[in-house]
Structure 1
Amino acid sequence: MKLYPIESGNFKLDGGAMFGVVPKTIWNKTNPADSNNLIDIAARCLLIEDGNRLILIDTGMGDKQSEKFFGYYSLWGSHSIDKSLAEYGFNRDDITDVFMTHLHFDHCGGSVQWNSDKTFYEPAFKNAKFWTNENHWQWAVKPNAREKASFLTENIIPMQESGQLNFIERPESDFGFSKELGFGIFYADGHTEKQMIPHIQYQDKTIVFCADLLATAGHIPLPYVMGYDTRPLLTLDEKAKFLNSAADNNYYLFLEHDAHNQIITVEHTEKGVRLKDVFTCEDIL
């Protein structure tokens, strides 16, 4: 098995929204904001090469939305999925599976693209199976008012219409092993219904793709919960369980949204679980 970081593009989000009830005077120390109160955000995906399979975890925003839409997110940098795949000798047609942690636009938007003459949407990975879970799918296609702006029909329905959509078989507990994809999954409901957090056994390490359960290294303290989360009190419990396990087992936490810290480890301290070490993807993968 080989793992490759796939940088799909950088953007910015409101720091207050990203840290909920935590005052700016505190979160600004770890995630400094610009003059518009925006902080740097990455959309760092992960590619798993395992035998004859190439599994891409999340796909970023994509590029099919309008200029007005992208204007809300202050895109920056020159990263793209195509550039990142090419760096390792791959292209979109090589991808066999696309695993989506959840269907918010910044995690699955790159799964669907315009066709050549912009008359309809089509899967951006024509040879891939797209993986979500049925509970989350139903949550996304019938969105609540709070999340409606994050679940965009054009990002989701074309995967079903193409016949490429597949559902992960869920365990009865909140953690299980996916026989379909060959890695463990922690199911978390605080951010959105049945977000999936992959746990990948790689050499002698456990690499955890944190998605929105732990957005950045600055979000480690338990009360630092995003304003976007639908069930913040549940996130508190899920983070506590997850971070304690990460410290106990020395998990390597792959941060999808931290533009400046790629992989971290955590440890137990008198103040609770806190940051231990910071690594680049090149150090670990």
Structure 2
Amino acid sequence: MKIHSIESGNFKLDGGAMFGVVPKSLWTRTNPADSNNMIDMAARCLLIENGDRLTLVDTGMGNKQSEKFFGYYYMDHKFDLDSSLKEKGFSRDDITDVFLTHLHFDHCGGVIKKSSKGDFFEPAFAKAVCHTNSSHWNWAIEPNDREKASFLTENIKPIEENGQLNFISQNSNYEKQNEMDFDILFVDGHTEKMMIPHIHLDGKTFVYMADLLPTVGHIPLPYVMGYDTRPLITLGEKEKFLNEAATKGYYLILEHDPFNEIITVKHTDKGVRLDQTFTFKDLF
């Protein structure tokens, strides 16, 4: 098995929304803001190469939305899925599986694209099976008012209409028996049944953090996003996971941190804190 970083395009989000009740004077130490209070965000997807199976974990925003839409997020098109895949020696048609941690637009937007004439939506990965879970799917197709702007119909319904949809089994909170090449932790603080992959490789465990831990700046427990639907549940999920990660020496792959690709954490007198930082080139 091999894993690769796939950069799908950086963007910006409001720093206050990303850190909830934490004062700006604190979160800007790790996540500096521009004059509009926006902070830099990565959309770092993960490619898992395992024999004949090539799994892409998350897909970024994609490119089918309007210029006005992308203007809200200050999209930086320095990176995109096609060029990132090509750099690793692959193309979209090589992808056999797309695993979506959850269906917010910045995680699943790239799974569907516009046709060449722009008159309908079609699969961006024509040969791939797309994996989510039934609880999250039902949550997304009938969204609550808080998350409605994050669940875009054009990102979601075509997956089912194109016959690509597969539901991952979810028999327990930590599912070790599933059809993927990795274990899955289900968490509910950010959104219903977000899936966190745990990949075991060469004696190490690599965890793709999605929105359970967006950036290094979110390691302290109270640093919870305003986007989270159940922030108190996030607190408990973060505390349990980070203690486990520090004790067991997990390597945490950060999807949204533009400065830090992979980190480890450690126990301190102040709780779990950052230990070491790595790039993919350091470890692979």
TM-score normalised over the length of structure 2: 0.99
**Secondary structure in structure 2 of the residue aligned to 1:261:** coil
Distance 1:281 1:14 in 2: 27
Write the deviation string for residues 81-121 of structure 1: whole angstroms up to 9, x where unpaired: 10110001100000000000000000000000001111110
For residues 179 and 187 of structure 1, the distance between their equivalents in structure 2, rounded to whole angstroms, comes to 12
Question: What is the alpha-carbon distance in structure 2 between the residues aligned to residue 226 and residue 107 of structure 1?
Answer: 16
Give percent identity, aligned residues only. 66
CA distance in 2, matches of 1:246, 1:32: 26
CA distance in 2, matches of 1:133, 1:209: 17
Residue type of the partner of 1:168? Answer: I
- Please list the CA deviations of residues 123-151 of structure 1 after superposition, one character each: whole Å capped at 9, or x if unmatched: 10000000000000000000000000000
Show the counterpart of 2:255.
256
CA distance in 2, matches of 1:71, 1:216: 23
1:259 maps to amino acid: P
Question: Could you tell me how far 1:178 is from its partner in structure 2?
Answer: 4.5
For 1:218 and 1:284, the matched residues in 2 are separated by: 22
Q: How many angstroms apart in 1 are the aligned matches of 2:283 and 2:103?
A: 28
Q: Tell me the residue number matched to 1:140.
A: 140
In structure 2, the partner of 1:6 is 6
2:57 counterpart of 1:45? no
AA aligned to 1:91 is S
Contact kept, 8 Å, 1:95 with 1:128, in 2: the verdict is yes
How far apart in 2 are the matches of 1:147 and 1:135? 15
3-state SS of 1:93 partner: helix
- The answer for the alignment partner of 1:197 in structure 2 is 196
Q: Matched residues in 2 for 1:51 and 1:110: separation?
A: 24
Distance, in Å, in 2 between the alignment partners of 1:135 and 1:117 is 34
Q: Does 1:274 align with 2:234?
A: no
| Runs of 4+ with >6 A deviation | none
Q: Report the counterpart of residue 226 of structure 1 in structure 2.
A: 225
- Equivalent in the alignment of 1:92: 92
Q: Give 1:84-233 correspondences, 5 Å limit.
A: 84-171=84-171, 173-233=172-232
Partner of 1:21: 21
- CA–CA separation in structure 1 for the residues paired with 2:108 and 2:177: 20
Cα distance, 1:179 vs. partner?
2.8
Distance 2:182 2:263 in 1: 20
Q: Distance in 1 between matches of 2:18 and 2:219?
A: 13
Contact 1:168 1:178 in 2 (8 A): no
> Does 1:246 pair with 2:256?
no
The answer as to whether partners of 1:61 and 1:110 remain within 8 angstroms in 2 is yes
2:256 and 2:51 mapped to 1: Cα distance? Answer: 28
Unpaired runs of 5+ in structure 1? none
Give unpaired runs (5+ residues) of structure 2: none
Amino acid corresponding to residue 237 of structure 2 in structure 1: E
8 Å CA contact 1:121, 1:154 repeated in 2: yes
Residue 9 of structure 1: SS of its match in structure 2? coil
Conservation of the 8 A alpha-carbon contact between 1:207 and 1:252 = yes
What secondary structure, in the 3-state scheme, does the structure 2 residue paired with 1:244 have? helix
How far 1:177 sits from its partner (Å)? 1.9
**Superposed counterparts of 1:68-83, under 5 Å:** 68-83=68-83
CA distance in 1, matches of 2:76, 2:159: 28
Q: Distance in 2 between matches of 1:86 and 1:246?
A: 33
In 2: Cα distance, 1:56 partner to 1:283 partner: 21
